[in-house]
Amino acid sequence: MASGFFAVLDDIAALMDDVATMSKVATKKTAGILGDDLAVNAEKATGFVASRELPVLWAIIKGSFLNKLIILPIAFLLSAYVPAAITIILILGGVYLAYEGAEKIIGFLVGHKKEDAKSTTVSTPQNQTPELEKKKIREAIITDFILSVEIVIIALGTVVEQPLKIQIGVVSVVALLATVGVYGIVALIVRMDDYGIRLINWQDGDDGLSDKIGRFLVNALPWVIKGLSVIGTLALLLVSGGIFNHNVEFVHHLLPDLPVLLKDFILGLLVGMAAVLLLTAIKKLFQKSQ
């Protein structure tokens, strides 16, 4: 009886060792998309009133965990029985990411003129309505869902030849790291100014090291947020372009001498612009029909 019990423990230990080893490989494979995930979600989680930053971030984290709970079993089932469906889902998700990235670029290029022409007050975090907050949370969770699909599929691809129990263990670990790691860093970013103020108030006087570091953190936060907005937009286009490049055979062999990053960006931008134009035309037709 005792020998059987220890045999089970030995099997569990061996399984955990295999999962840990394969998880390292899968994490390396998904490192690029995790970086893009961080940039996109950090940009999505910023711009709220200070008192609402952590509650909003917690709402997005809960949505991210729910996304993983939905994606993981579906990914395992599709991988086993309908592998072609995964590619279709990835491409549709890529179109959405490209649309979102292109829309941000268009908004940046033409938004300033519209703002100058208007005399009304532009919405700021201080007068942000609960409806707008809910909308941003919903958009962040949708974007997280699509990026999570990409992360899960890449991780699954590294262990596709392994037994099912190894696949489940490895992909689950990567999915958990993606949520905890990414949003842990996001939480640190959105609270930079609070940490800075605490350091400034830590000691009396204005010339201490803690004061200098605190002032640096407070002054750096607006630039970090602006930088994340730019990086997040680029990441949306790069991720979407990468999806098209790796999953559409014709596109994959198109312009083989072009640098991969440039090719991914161009693909994401072109598809995104096309999606924006198509959706705008559909909206106008729908409005005319009413």
| Average predicted confidence (pLDDT) for the chain | 75
Higher pLDDT: 185 or 160? It is 185
Distance between CA atoms of residues 207 and 288, nearest Å:
64
Residue 274, pLDDT score = 93
Amino acid code (one letter) for 96 = Y
Q: Write down the pTM of the prediction.
A: 0.67
| Residue that is written with structure tokens 């996304």 in the block | 67
Per-residue confidence (pLDDT) for residue 269, from 0 to 100: 92
Q: Give the residue among 250, 25, 241 at the shortest CA–CA distance from 154.
A: 25
Average pLDDT over residues 246-271: 85
Residue linked to tokens 């129990």: 165
Higher pLDDT, 248 or 13: 248
Give yes or no for a contact between 159 and 167, defined as CB atoms under 8 angstroms apart. Answer: yes
Cβ contact 245:251 at 8 Å? yes
Rg (CA), the chain: 22
Between CA 186 and CA 137, with CA 87 as vertex, the angle to 5 degrees is 30
pLDDT in tens, 82-125: 877 877 887 888 888 888 888 888 888 886 544 444 444 444 45
Q: What is the dihedral of CA 74, 80, 83, 89, to 10 degrees?
A: 0
Rounded CA-CA distance 225/43 in Å is: 7
Higher pLDDT, 18 or 195: 195
Asked whether the beta carbons of 87 and 243 are under 8 A apart, the reply is no
Dmax (CA) of the chain? 81
Residues contacting 171, CB < 8 A, separation 6+: 26, 72, 75, 76, 152, 155, 156, 159
169: domain range?
Answer: 2-289
Spatial contact of 154 and 170, defined as CB atoms under 8 Å apart: no
Please tell me the predicted confidence (pLDDT) of residue 116.
47
Higher pLDDT, 139 or 274: 274
Query: Cα-flanking dihedrals φ and ψ of residue 235, to 5°?
Result: -65, -40
Type of residue numbered 174: V
Q: Which among 35, 34, 53 is positioned nearest to 44, based on CA atoms?
A: 53
Report which of residues 106 and 226 the model is more confident about. 106
Highest mean pLDDT (candidates 91-95, 138-142, 248-252, 265-269): 265-269
Encoding tokens for residue 287? 């409005």
- What is residue 211's predicted lDDT score, i.e. its pLDDT? 79
User: Structural domain tally of the chain?
Assistant: 1
Give the per-residue pLDDT at 83. Answer: 76
Q: How confident is the model at residue 189 (pLDDT cuts 50, 70, 90)?
A: confident
pLDDT tens track for 25-42: 455 545 556 665 666 666
Tokens, residue 87? 């590619």
CA distance 229 to 105: 11
Comparing 230 with 66, the larger pLDDT belongs to 66
Residue 270 clears pLDDT 90, i.e. is over it: yes
CA proximity to 141, closest of 41, 230, 226:
41
What is the rounded average pLDDT of the residues 210-219? 82
pLDDT per residue as tens digits for the range 128-164: 567 777 888 888 888 888 778 878 877 776 676 677 7
Q: What is the DSSP string of 200-217?
A: HTTSSSSSSHHHHHHHHH
Q: Which residue has the higher pLDDT, 202 or 157?
A: 202
